[in-house]
Amino acid sequence: QVQLVESGGGVVQPGTSLRLSCAASGFTFGSFGMHWVRQAPGKGLDWVAVISNDEIDTYYGDSVKGRFTISRDNSKNTVYLQMHSLRTEDTAVYYCARDTLGYGGMSDYWGQGTLVTVSS
């Protein structure tokens, strides 16, 4: 079955960097786009970024554009989110989710999330 496992979260100071990983299994990873979505404590869902199955296309939400980079390694069945210049408002649980297409579909399966806390 489809499984997505995020890792890499933790407590970091404002202005620093962090890289999240999402390990996928149970499907042909290289055939599907991947998303990152976040959820601040007690708040709603905030879409962050998407990457196409072939790594050619990416798109970011306005709140992270220029600071976050989504990438993937199809040989390792893993998608990454590199986060720079972290702000307190980036504190959230970060979920990865599978796209139903190579790019441009909708998210069907989600991981359990990893918590990022940005605090001094």
Partner 1 sequence: EIVLTQSPDFQSVTPKEKVIITCRASQSIGSSLHWFQQKPHQSPKLLIKYASRPFSGVPSRFSGSGSGTDFNLTISSLEAEDVATYYCHQSSTLPRTFGQGTKVDIK
Footprint (CB under 8 A) of partner 1, residues 4-33 = none
Least distance from partner 1 to the Cβ atom of residue 50, Å: 7
Residue 55: left (phi > 0), alpha (psi -120 to 50), or beta? left
Q: What are phi and psi of 115, to 5 degrees?
A: -90, 130
Of the candidate spans 22-30, 69-77, 79-87, 102-110, the one that interacts with partner 1 by CB under 8 A turns out to be 102-110
47 is a contact residue toward partner 1 (CB under 8 A): yes
Q: Which of 27, 109, 115, 117 binds partner 1 (CB under 8 A)?
A: 109
Binding segment for partner 1 (CB under 8 A), chosen from 14-22, 66-74, 75-83, 111-119, is: 111-119
Q: How many Å apart are CA 99 and CA 52, to the nearest integer?
A: 9
Contact between 70 and 80 (Cβ < 8 Å): yes
The tokens 């998608």 sit on which residue? 79
Using the contact rule CB under 8 A, the part of the chain among 8-16, 24-32, 60-68, 84-92 near partner 1 is: 60-68
**Locus of tokens 């879409």:** 47
Q: Is 38 in the site for partner 1 (CB under 8 A)?
A: no
